[in-house]
């Protein structure tokens, strides 16, 4: 959409600023449209528009205070070039997620907790304009025939939008912001997500090519941990990542990124994660990382892990480590193969070596709650032994969860594998 048309739409949004300067703002919009029309496509950057708005205000002889003048300029520029009222939230580095529940409710996540904001839209149509602007930038559409969409912004942030008639409270928009500088293992140690000893264990497990399943609830830090764990992969290996919306930020030079594609307006051209997993097997990968298994691709992932593609990692939504295995089993059944339950569980028991469960606690912090080794089968049950547990000890006066990561004292079966591969990890680490 051209900038001029965008500004015309903004002017049509009469009254979305509920303040005494509404008339002045509408006047500035009209003057800005006229000025941009005279200049054509040139000179339409943020700085230039800010300067032009300031010049228009000078000509209008406004009596605004310095604070009101600055806010007005930002409002106009945010509507023209950004995402309207939520643009300041998008730019705030302390905000990790922005949630718009219709025109009159906007929440943010900061420090792992959700807070309401005083940000408001004029009405639902105003929200729809921002939603349409976002999805059009990434070549997607949203309307009554396709009333919801998942997309990735140019900066990597993940977006979900859903509109009426499915969203009864008005258009809803959820933006999970993309971290320009991904967290490192040192960051997670500082946050209390893990400890130095746990980091050393995960480093050794990755270098030993243990197939790993990372589980946890929504917003528990699964993708962040996957990013950190992937940093331990040697730079000499070829890595293929498969995601619905690309979020992983690897540093290795030999990295191939694959992303799913939704169907076009005619319902054709869809490429699923299962398609990409199958294709990845033909790309000579040393490691396959699947951002999150959700459906039948779980079967292809298990087959890859069981046929020489060791060291692969994936994540899954689950409330507990045991639930994670049950979910993978269900997703294998979704592949449409008539496999007996025992055969599926045997594949899982031989495919997965390590299970890491993430949890978000009441104070908003994310921590590794459990690291378990998959040890095999007993009858119809997949057996595991816990290696590391986070043990809470209480809540401090300021609401912070207290506790520590404890090694259970069990010697993992994969320890001998590490020794044969020349990976040094002191056995004493498991006795702490």
Distance, in Å, from the CA atom of 395 to the CA atom of 189, rounded to the nearest integer, reads 20
Length of the chain: 432
78 or 88, higher pLDDT:
88
Confidence of residue 308 (pLDDT cuts 50, 70, 90): confident
Across 74-95, average pLDDT? 84
Q: Any bridge partners for residue 376, and if so which?
A: 383
On the question of pLDDT at 12 being above 60, the answer is no
- For residue 94, the tally of other CB atoms under 10 A from its CB is 9
Tokens at 183, concatenated: 């967290």
Tokens at 354, concatenated: 């390590």
Tokens at 148, concatenated: 């919801």
Of 380, 385, 375, the closest CA to residue 352 belongs to 375
**pLDDT at 365 (0 to 100):** 92
**pLDDT at 17 (0 to 100):** 40
pTM of the shown model: 0.82
Can you list the domains of the chain with their CATH numbers? 1-81 (no CATH), 82-178 (3.30.450.370), 185-431 (3.40.50.300)
- CA atoms within 13 Å, Cβ hemisphere of 221: 27
On the question of pLDDT at 47 being above 80, the answer is no
The arrangement of strands across the sheet holding 113-116 comes to 113-116, 106-110, 95-101, 172-176, 158-162, 148-152
On the question of pLDDT at 250 being above 80, the answer is yes
**pLDDT at 105 (0 to 100):** 95
**pLDDT tens readout for residues 342-370:** 999 999 999 999 999 999 998 889 999 99
Of 362, 369, 370, 367, the closest CA to residue 401 belongs to 362
On the question of pLDDT at 412 being above 90, the answer is yes
CA 308 to chain centre: 29
Distance, in Å, from the CA atom of 265 to the CA atom of 246, rounded to the nearest integer, reads 22
Cis amide leading into 165 (omega within 30): yes
On the question of pLDDT at 371 being above 60, the answer is yes
């Amino acid at each position: 959409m051209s900038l001029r048309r965008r500004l015309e739409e903004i002017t049509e949004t009469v009254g979305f600023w509920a303040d005494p300067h509404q008339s002045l703002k509408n006047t500035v919009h009209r003057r800005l449209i006229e000025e941009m029309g005279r200049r054509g496509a040139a000179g339409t950057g943020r700085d230039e528009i800010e300067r032009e708005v300031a010049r228009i205000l000078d000509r209008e002889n406004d009596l605004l205070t310095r604070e009101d003048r600055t806010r007005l300029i930002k409002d106009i520029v945010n509507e023209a070039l950004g995402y309207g009222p939520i643009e300041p939230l998008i730019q705030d580095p302390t905000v990790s997620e922005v949630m718009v529940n219709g025109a009159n409710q906007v929440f943010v996540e900061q420090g792992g907790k959700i807070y309401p904001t005083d940000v408001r839209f004029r009405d639902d149509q105003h929200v729809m304009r921002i939603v349409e602007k976002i999805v059009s930038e990434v070549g997607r559409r949203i309307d009554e025939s396709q009333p919801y969409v998942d997309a990735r912004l140019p900066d990597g942030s993940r977006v979900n939008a859903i509109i009426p008639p499915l969203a009864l409270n008005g258009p809803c928009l959820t933006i999970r912001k993309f971290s320009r500088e991904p967290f490192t293992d040192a960051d997670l140690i500082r946050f209390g997500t893990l400890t130095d000893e746990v980091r050393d264990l995960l480093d050794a497990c990755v270098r030993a090519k243990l197939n790993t399943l990372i589980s946890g609830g929504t917003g528990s830090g699964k993708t962040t941990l996957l990013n950190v764990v992937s940093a331990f992969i040697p730079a000499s290996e070829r890595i293929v990542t498969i995601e619905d919306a690309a979020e992983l930020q690897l540093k290795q030079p030999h990295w191939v990124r694959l992303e799913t594609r939704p169907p076009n307006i005619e319902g054709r051209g869809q490429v699923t994660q299962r398609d990409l997993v199958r294709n990845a097997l033909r790309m000579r990968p040393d490691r396959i990382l699947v951002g999150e298994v959700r459906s039948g691709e779980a079967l292809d992932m298990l087959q890859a892990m069981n046929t020489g593609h060791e060291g692969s990692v994936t994540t899954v939504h689950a409330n507990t480590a045991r639930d994670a295995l049950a979910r993978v089993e269900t997703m294998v059944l979704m592949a449409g193969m008539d496999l007996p339950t025992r055969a599926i569980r045997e594949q899982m028991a031989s495919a997965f070596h390590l299970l890491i469960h993430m949890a978000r606690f009441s104070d908003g912090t994310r921590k590794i709650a459990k690291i378990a080794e998959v040890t095999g089968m007993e009858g119809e049950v997949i057996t595991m032994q816990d290696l590391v547990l986070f043990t809470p000890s209480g809540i401090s006066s300021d609401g912070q969860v207290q506790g520590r990561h404890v090694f259970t004292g069990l010697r993992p079966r994969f320890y001998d594998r590490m020794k044969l591969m020349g990976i040094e990890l002191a056995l004493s680490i498991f006795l702490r």
